[in-house]
Amino acid sequence: MKDLLLLVFMAALWLPFGAHAQSKVIERHLLAFWDFSEEAGSPRVSKSYQNDETYHLLEGAGPIEKVSEGPIHNSSAYIVDSTWFYIPRGKLGKLNIYGKEAAVTVVAWVKKDSEKYWQAIGGVWDETREKRQYYLFLNAASKTHHDEMKRYPTNGRIHGHISALGGKSPGEKAWISYVSSDEEVAAGVWTMIAITYDGKQIRAYKDGLLSANPLTNPFPYEEGIFDGGEDGADFTVGANSVIGKMTNQFIGQISGLAVFDRALNEREMRYLFRKGIDL
């Protein structure tokens, strides 16, 4: 009984320190956070704890409505067909994440309104000019089983794409090295979705938890992230470039978007889901 009481006491002491450590990691490695609180027609301006760079998400094809609803500051942007946000390549700064040792986390608080295939959420991914780097998607039509590197039909999942080549996977019609969550993301429900890459594996998270599957999540990938150079891809939200046009349209609301230069672990992801980002 004494041993049990001691364990409970030690756990109670550790919890605040553990939470503090997770908070500090999040603060130190957050490159950009958007809460989409600005009105339609205005750039959405990033916030950060320590990064001195500021990033302006511009509207790609006309005004994007602000809605007074969402888990982040009770606001969101409502992205509909043929609208998206972007940051021009020359303004990416630290969001231009690349290299053999590169690491990244992309987190979004979204409520999708459609089950259409291939919905782009955010990242740096231009398929038209073979300038793929990293990207968070929803609703891919296929998932790749990493043990045989073959794709199988799916829908409704979270997907994380990382490319070291920029172009298509060798011998394939598209890029096929990507993680897929085990769980689906329901339409009409606010969900925190996320991907991480630590230089070894890509992981997909739903509401702060690893949505694990032995064949699809985590997904082994040790090649790093492509260097797109000065003429590489823009950072886009809600659509990406494919065959010369902006497509893979996300349809729904986005309340928050965050990019980190570190692969957050599951403890940190759970903390982020519980506490959010206080900016």
Q: Which residue has the higher pLDDT, 65 or 2?
A: 65
Query: Model confidence at 14, in pLDDT bands (50, 70, 90)?
Result: very low
Q: What is the pLDDT of residues 18-52, one digit of tens each?
A: 677 888 989 999 999 999 999 999 999 999 999 99
**pLDDT higher than 60, residue 182:** yes
Tokens representing 121 are 């959420």
Q: What is the pLDDT of residues 194-244, one digit of tens each?
A: 999 999 999 999 999 999 999 999 999 999 999 999 999 999 999 999 999
Rounded distance, CA 92 to CA 125, Å? 13
> Which domain does 164 fall in, by range?
2-275
Task: Check residue 159 and give its pLDDT.
Answer: 98
Task: Check residue 11 and give its pLDDT.
Answer: 45
Q: Domain total for the chain? A: 1
Own/partner pairs, 187-192, CB within 8 angstroms, 24+ separation: 187/112, 187/113, 187/114, 187/115, 187/252, 188/111, 188/112, 188/113, 189/111, 190/70, 190/71, 190/109, 190/110, 190/111, 190/255, 191/109, 191/110, 191/111, 192/71, 192/107, 192/108, 192/109, 192/272, 192/273
Mean pLDDT of the chain: 94
Q: What is the pLDDT of residues 106-117, one digit of tens each?
A: 999 999 999 999
Task: Check residue 3 and give its pLDDT.
Answer: 59
Please answer whether residues 140 and 117 qualify as being in contact, where contact means their C-beta atoms are separated by less than 8 angstroms. yes
Q: Name the DSSP class of 95.
A: G
**pLDDT higher than 50, residue 262:** yes
Which CATH number goes with the domain that contains 209? 2.60.120.200
Question: What's the average model confidence in pLDDT over 69-97?
Answer: 97
Q: Does the pTM of the predicted model rise above 0.75? A: yes
**pLDDT higher than 70, residue 149:** yes
